Amino acid sequence: MPGRHHILRRRRAKVVATLGPASASAEMIETLHKGGADVFRLNFSHGDHAAHAQNLAWIRALEKKTGHPIGVLADVQGPKLRIGRFSGGHVTLQKGQAFRLDLSPTPGDVRRVQLPHPEIINAATPGMNLLIDDGKLKLRVDHVREDHLETTVLVAGRLSDRKGVNVPDVMLPIPALTKKDREDLAFALEAGVDYVGLSFVQRPEDVVEARELVGGRGWILTKLEKPQALVNLDEIVALSDAVMVARGDLGVELPPEEVPLAQRRIVRKARELGKPVIVATQMMESMISSPTPTRAEASDVAGALFEGADAVMLSAETAAGQYPLEAVDMMDRILTRTERDEEWRRVIDDRPLAPETNSAGAIAAAARAVADSSGAKVICAFTHGGSTALRIARQRPTAPILGLTPIIETARRLALVWGVHPVQIPPHDTMTAAVSSALQTARREGFATWGDEIVVTAGVPFNTPGSTNALRVATVSREQPSPAGDEK
């Protein structure tokens, strides 16, 4: 199909690019996709439904044009905790001064301001800290009253209207989905997004609630940005379809020295459970206003790969920056170069994961072993809901993975998964037909040519969700029927 070969990636890790004013056009979306963006993020903290619908329409038109499935992430905002307003628009707080947070809507001054969140007051305890304006100011709670908190300023500075409040020391009795989130979620799922980014998750029940609302219409991508979520990390990751290391809020609520350790722990747990994991926030922050990243940022992107992440994400760099294409191109270059390095491969191979304790997991591990020992050019994973491709990707094989599915929604979701090149194909009823289709697709997509071996995995019977229970090795021969458009 026209357009497929020129977007064949030279790497296994994926790139997520956020759309915004700097990238919201059909031309720029196509340019970013060709440049390396595998998944596009729609940030529902900004923009209206009409703008998001237009971006999604452009993405689907591009998908039709290229014949290549593209993933779309709808990232819902989650609860936003903010102070009220000041009579003069702002105040300057001094270190050591007393400052009150109360429920009164009266504009504040240097002595007090509204905190329109009784949940915080009810959950507060003396000695706990409140962080304001992304941690630029820090208050210690001294006394908890029925309708207000008496605090002392520990880190001083200028404080203006409606700045955000972070509460790192306590689990708040606040649901992860607000009324706005539910409306955004209903719109996004009806529009046909592939993943839903769930913010403000503190407990496993938050994911369970979201899953009931989603009803199988998309993958739930849990953003790990609250310290409380780390307490329940195993269960939260197990309940999610994918996760994100959301280092923005996580970096506000955790001490800076704890964030790299939390990132490694989250990536390791996601890999262990076979869930795609994105590392996000400030990966190339300097490229908002610079055509090149800092050396530290380049190392950060490469480091995420060494840890085993499936994908890395660009936020403001592509949404509002001056150099969106350069940011995607640079991320693509860093990922590609890192994966070519023998040290990267050695690190990945030195941390193998034990196969899942079931037949499907054993066959996925065998697929990698057979591909490695035979020198197979590609592993073709027939999958209905995506589980076969996910199991093989968990093994981090040397060979790329062709995720072959008759379900377009599955193909789009697999766009996020490490090493998987998703392709929608017609359904098959027999292993013989599947192997023939795999051989044709591997040639057409540029993964194999005459004489090359491929590995084929599938669940039999076909076209029903279930375990992977079949593995074949096949060779591309000259007698193999040529796919449409292939040269004789």
Helix (H) or strand (E) holding 453: strand 453-458
Report the candidate in 371, 337, 333 with the shortest Cα–Cα distance to residue 447.
371
Residue 435 tokens read as 């192997």
Judged by average pLDDT, the poorest of 74-78, 272-276, 401-405, 457-461 is 457-461
| pLDDT for the residue numbered 263 | 98
Question: Are the CB atoms for 466 and 472 separated by under 8 Å?
Answer: no
| pLDDT for the residue numbered 481 | 56
| pLDDT for the residue numbered 301 | 98
Mean pLDDT of 207-224: 97
Residue 200 tokens read as 């403000």
Judged by average pLDDT, the poorest of 6-10, 72-76, 103-107, 337-341 is 6-10
Question: Are the CB atoms for 320 and 47 separated by under 8 Å?
Answer: no
CA 247 to chain centre: 12
pLDDT band, residue 484 (cuts 50/70/90): very low
Q: Report the catalytic residues.
A: 41, 82, 223, 281
Mean pLDDT of 108-112: 98
Residue 45 tokens read as 């903290």
The pLDDT tens digits of the residues spanning 318-376 come to 999 999 999 999 999 999 999 999 999 999 999 888 878 888 899 999 999 999 999 99
Q: What three-state secondary structure class fits 172?
A: coil
Spatial strand order of the sheet with 148-155 comes to: 112-114, 98-102, 148-155, 137-144, 129-132, 165-166
Judged by average pLDDT, the poorest of 45-49, 76-80, 409-413, 463-467 is 463-467
The pLDDT tens digits of the residues spanning 386-421 come to 999 999 999 999 999 999 999 999 999 999 999 999
Question: Are the CB atoms for 392 and 379 separated by under 8 Å?
Answer: yes
Q: Is the pLDDT of residue 200 over 80?
A: yes
The pLDDT tens digits of the residues spanning 426-455 come to 998 899 999 999 999 999 999 999 999 999
| pLDDT for the residue numbered 1 | 39
Mean pLDDT of 134-157: 97
pLDDT over 70 percentage in the chain: 95
Backbone angles phi, psi at 174, to 5 degrees: -125, 130
Mean of all residue pLDDT scores within the chain: 94
Question: Residue 206, exposed/middle/buried by CB under 10 A (0-12, 13-18, 19+)?
Answer: buried
Question: Are the CB atoms for 313 and 243 separated by under 8 Å?
Answer: no
| pLDDT for the residue numbered 480 | 58
| pLDDT for the residue numbered 218 | 98
Which residues in 11-155 belong to E strands, given as ranges?
Answer: 14-19, 39-43, 71-75, 90-93, 98-102, 112-114, 129-132, 137-144, 148-155
pLDDT over 90 percentage in the chain: 89
Question: ∠140-144-146 over CA atoms, to 5°?
Answer: 145
The pLDDT tens digits of the residues spanning 160-198 come to 999 999 999 999 999 999 999 999 999 999 999 999 999
Helix (H) or strand (E) holding 66: helix 49-66
Is pTM beyond 0.85 here?
yes
Query: Strand 195-198 relative to strand 90-93: parallel, antiparallel, unpaired?
Result: unpaired
Backbone angles phi, psi at 132, to 5 degrees: -125, 145
| pLDDT for the residue numbered 467 | 67
